[in-house]
């Protein structure tokens, strides 16, 4: 939105409304002062109002220091409205705007810090991650823009990925992390708990089988039935062995990492109702230099992958958005992660 033209979508009535309201307030203060001056000439006299037979109201003025504060307020208000915007869409003689001040401050900050960001932007991610100054800057960026979801220690919470371990839904190499931070991720785990997919008992069977894949406690009879249902219900995204597909963001169901917890009830809920999660993109907001620093910080937390592993291409039928999966995709995450 262009802040200079925000008045274009309202009628001229509101412009006059603001002007009249502002000036009327100042004039009101002036009238009040005149009334007090009149009261000063009648000091010691009563107004004629009497309560409870002998309680009289006297016409005594307010103290001079109090009245002078009002005089100063009136003068200050008139000077302010002459210099700064306050009367509708009148700009004031200084031509000051909030957007103009913001742009000036950003320009000053860019002149001061731009060369530092530029220096690190031209360095390899691994070198940036090892630089103490860059690490401190990256941490500040993380605490400002990422900690609300992933926590100040980057270890996440239920529904928000741990960025400090070695498990990455979309890949933990520097390039993949930067891609995630810059463009964001959208992930959907489609609900399977209604016909023609599965009924409630079949969902429990599939969950029992999935739990068996990662060594969780399970009902063996249900797991056997779930094994027969799995190929049709889940294998298209999570693979025949449940190992997922990193290239498409399909979670590995065998790695003992569960974004929405490994509790049986939570897993049943995920399969039954599905999950919709989103990691917003920060590329346009932060710019390439800050994304580069933030990538280095996240990669350097300890769980980053050093080399890009060759990953099989995602099948055409399973195009993005990716399956959120039973171990899920964070609503504000950089991968499962």
Same domain as 78, residue 15:
yes
Same domain as 88, residue 19:
yes
Give the pLDDT score at 253: 94
134 part of a folded domain: yes
With 90 as the cut, is the pLDDT of residue 194 above it?
Answer: no
102 part of a folded domain: no
Residue whose entry in the numeric block shows the structure tokens 């990492």: 257
Give the pLDDT score at 169: 87
Counted domains in the chain: 2
More confident of the two residues 119 and 61: 119
**Confidence tier at 328 by pLDDT (50, 70, 90):** very low
242 part of a folded domain: no
Which has the minimum average pLDDT: 229-243, 266-280, 288-302, 311-325? 311-325
10 part of a folded domain: yes
| H-assigned helices in the chain | 12-41, 64-83, 98-121, 125-130, 132-145, 147-150, 174-183, 200-213, 220-233, 235-238, 264-273, 283-286, 288-299
Same domain as 77, residue 150:
no
Q: Closest Cα to residue 167, out of 293, 302, 267?
A: 302
Same domain as 90, residue 28:
yes
Do 279 and 330 meet the contact criterion of CB atoms below 8 Å apart?
yes
Helix, coil or strand: residue 303: coil
CA distance 189 to 192: 9
Same domain as 87, residue 137:
no
Give the pLDDT score at 13: 85
Question: Dmax over Cα atoms in the chain, in whole Å?
Answer: 101
Residue range 59-81: mean pLDDT, rounded? 87
The CATH number that applies at residue 259 is 1.10.760.10
CA distance 231 to 220: 18
Same domain as 171, residue 71:
no
- pTM passes above 0.75: no
Dihedral, 279, 285, 287, 291 alpha carbons, nearest 10: -30
Same domain as 65, residue 24:
yes
- Summarised one tens digit per residue, pLDDT across range 17-51 is 889 999 999 999 888 888 777 666 666 677 778 88
13 part of a folded domain: yes
Same domain as 164, residue 265:
yes
- Summarised one tens digit per residue, pLDDT across range 267-281 is 999 999 999 889 999
CA distance 244 to 228: 18
Domain membership of residue 22 as a residue range: 3-96
CA distance 190 to 230: 14
Same domain as 13, residue 86:
yes
With 60 as the cut, is the pLDDT of residue 153 above it?
Answer: yes
Residue range 108-131: mean pLDDT, rounded? 92
Same domain as 142, residue 85:
no
């Amino acid at each position: 939105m262009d802040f200079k033209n925000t008045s274009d979508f309202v009628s001229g009535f509101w412009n006059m409304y603001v002007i009249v309201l502002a000036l009327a307030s100042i004039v009101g203060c002036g009238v009040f002062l005149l009334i007090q001056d009149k009261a000063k000439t009648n000091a010691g006299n009563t107004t004629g109002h009497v309560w409870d037979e002998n309680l009289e109201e006297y016409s005594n003025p307010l103290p001079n220091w109090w009245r002078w504060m009002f005089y100063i307020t009136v003068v200050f208000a008139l000077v302010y409205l002459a210099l700064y915007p306050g009367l509708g869409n009148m700009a004031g003689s200084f031509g000051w705007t909030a957007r103009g001040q913001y742009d000036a401050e950003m320009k000053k900050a860019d002149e001061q810090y731009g060369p530092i960001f530029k220096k690190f932007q031209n360095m390899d991610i691994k070198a940036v991650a090892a630089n103490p100054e860059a690490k401190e800057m990256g941490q500040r960026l993380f605490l400002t823009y990422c900690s609300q979801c992933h926590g100040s220690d980057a270890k996440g919470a239920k529904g928000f990925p741990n960025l400090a371990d070695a498990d990455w839904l979309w890949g933990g190499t520097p390039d993949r992390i930067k891609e995630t931070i810059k463009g964001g991720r959208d992930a959907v785990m489609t609900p399977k708990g209604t016909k023609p997919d599965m009924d409630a008992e079949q969902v429990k069977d599939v969950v029992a089988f999935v739990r068996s894949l990662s060594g969780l406690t399970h009902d063996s009879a249900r797991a056997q039935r779930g094994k027969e249902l799995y190929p049709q219900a889940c294998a298209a995204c999570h693979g025949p062995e449940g190992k997922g597909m990193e290239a498409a963001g399909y979670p590995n169901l065998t790695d003992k990492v569960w974004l929405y917890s490994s509790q049986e009830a939570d897993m049943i809920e995920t399969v039954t109702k599905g999950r919709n999660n989103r990691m917003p993109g920060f590329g346009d907001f932060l710019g390439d230099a800050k994304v580069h620093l933030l990538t280095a910080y996240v990669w350097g937390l300890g769980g980053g992958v050093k080399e890009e592993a060759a990953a099989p291409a995602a099948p055409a039928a399973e195009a993005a958005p990716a399956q959120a999966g039973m171990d899920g995709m964070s609503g504000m995450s950089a991968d499962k992660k």
